Amino acid sequence: MSVQQHLLDLGDLFNFSDLSTFTQNIPIEWVASALDLSSQATIRRRRLPADQVLWLVLGMALFRDEPVHEVARRLNICAQGLATDHLLARSGVTEARKRLGSGPVEWLFRKTGNQWGGERYRDDSWQGLQVFAVDGALLRTPDTPELRDHFGSGNTPTERQTPFPMLRLVALMNVRSHVILDAQLSPYRRSEMRLADEFLEQVPNQSVTLFDKGFWSADLMLRLSGQGISRHWLTPARKNLVSEEVVRYGKNDRLVRMKVSPQARKRNPDLPTHWEVREVSYEIQGKLKTIMTSLPAATYSANAVAKLYQERWEIELGFRDIKSSMQQNAMTLRSKKIDLVYQEVWGLLLAYNMIRREASQAAVAFGRAPSDIRFKPACQYIAVQLIVMAAANPISAMGRRLADLRAGVGGMFLDHHPRPSRPRTVKISKTRFPVDRKAAPLK
């Protein structure tokens, strides 16, 4: 019997609508296909089967301050529907996660990210182009010999190691909906640029992708713009770039020609010896900034291009939402095995995307843009509602509960009012010692 058929036969024991926010967004066929990747897939009816372990991994991302076995109890995750300490041992949760592995969670994240990341919403384009961003972040793992040997750690000026092993994350994000289309995880020593190479083909047509300066590469940029239709890029110029002017479009707008480095041509012999790039300069806070782009000057003005690059910070906000709002500022991941670390992070990214998509659907219902909804209150609201839904009858009024949830999320819009100006002032530092204002000045 296939895993798909087995899951469909579980209706009498478990209904996927227990977590209706999850299952409304993720079709059961996707779940079945993901679980089919698990090498431990079996028709044996376990106390904590793989289908529910998948929801448990997602619950771990939403309840970071709770132990894993408590997350299972809160979400009512168990074959019998009563995940109490008597029915579900703590060691059983860990073993169930090991049986599931990281592969199914990673597959499900990529499937949903590719599907949701390209969805169109109100005001989600820039002059007809969808806007994406690529950037990297670091996550800290527990300090065990196994994890340190696999993930490695950061550079230090001495031979001393950094306190914790580090995992590298590079993501491709839709900056208007903040949904992550794709991502790569790796040990610390792998290059962000090489990781970005692996999901380059996921960038949709009719788009512009914003890069940090650390991704500057003729190979990367030429392949992005050369594949597909109207796939453009934008990145800050690196210092000390040697170029020659080809065409002058305006005072701070020109086309330049640069040599492709021998190292890049050795890695990819198909690269040309030279390539041409548009260079746009602009002033911000009294400093002159320069960006490079493939956007043609005939269609996109220099002012518009310069303003567009400011949206690159949206991906930084997405990383902040994951680290601060979802992880509740917990600096270290909770898993202590290599595969479970990857499973935890893939579950974190999947849960983040589901919150973003649910918020986007709420925004559409209110005629607003997805980026108008505040992430942290939406995350907390959905987490609380999941506990309520898990304890309720899964069948009756499911559609009404989901509509109520989206209505609640829709009440969390940002207020786009200008912030009052508060000039910076230098204040005396706080001290626990009394200050003698009559004391004589120091000589």
β-pair partners for 256: 245, 277
The pLDDT of residue 2 is above 70: no
Task: Between 390 and 184, name the one with better pLDDT.
Answer: 184
Encode pLDDT of 270-284 as tens digits: 999 999 999 999 988
Q: What is the mean pLDDT of residues 379-386?
A: 80
Give the range among 264-268, 341-345, 411-415 with minimum mean pLDDT: 411-415
- Given a cut of 80, whether residue 397 has pLDDT beyond it is no
Q: DSSP letter at 173?
A: E
Q: Does residue 192 contact residue 216 with C-beta atoms inside 8 Å?
A: no
Is 111 a residue whose pLDDT tops 60?
Answer: yes
The 8-class DSSP code of residue 413 comes to: B
Cα angle 114, 32, 363 (rounded to 5 degrees) comes to 40
Give the position of tokens 């990210």. Answer: 113
Q: What is the pTM of this model?
A: 0.80
Neighbours of 126 (CB within 10 A): 18
Cα distance between residue 81 and residue 60, in whole Å = 18
Average pLDDT on 115-143 reads: 87
pLDDT at 23 over 70: no
Identify the residue whose tokens are 């005396």: 428
Mean pLDDT of the chain: 78
- Does pLDDT of 347 surpass 70? yes
Q: Kindly tell me if the per-residue pLDDT of 75 is higher than 70.
A: yes
Q: For residue 108, is pLDDT > 80?
A: yes
Other residues' Cβ atoms within 10 Å of the Cβ of residue 381: 18
> Any alpha helices (H) in 366-413, and if so which ranges?
375-391, 398-410
Give the lowest-confidence range in 174-178, 197-201, 296-300, 367-371: 367-371
164 pLDDT more than 80: yes
Q: What is the mean pLDDT of residues 345-361?
A: 90
The answer to whether the beta carbons of residues 185 and 167 sit under 8 Å apart is yes
Place of tokens 């897939």: 41
Q: Does pLDDT of 210 surpass 80?
A: yes
pLDDT in tens, 35-51: 666 654 444 445 556 67
Q: State yes or no: pLDDT of 119 exceeds 70.
A: yes
Q: What does the pLDDT look like over 330-345, one tens digit per residue?
A: 889 999 999 999 999 9
What's the pLDDT score for residue 337? Answer: 94
| CB contact at 8 A, 254 and 247 | yes
The answer to whether the beta carbons of residues 234 and 308 sit under 8 Å apart is yes
Q: What integer is the mean pLDDT of 237-259?
A: 91
CB neighbour class for 124 (10 Å; exposed up to 12, middle 13-18, buried from 19): middle
> What's the pLDDT band for 17 if we cut at 50, 70, 90?
very low
**Distance between CA 122 and CA 220 in Å, rounded?**
30
What SS3 class is residue 129?
strand
The pair of structure tokens assigned to 328 is 């509740």
- Cα distance between residue 175 and residue 130, in whole Å: 9
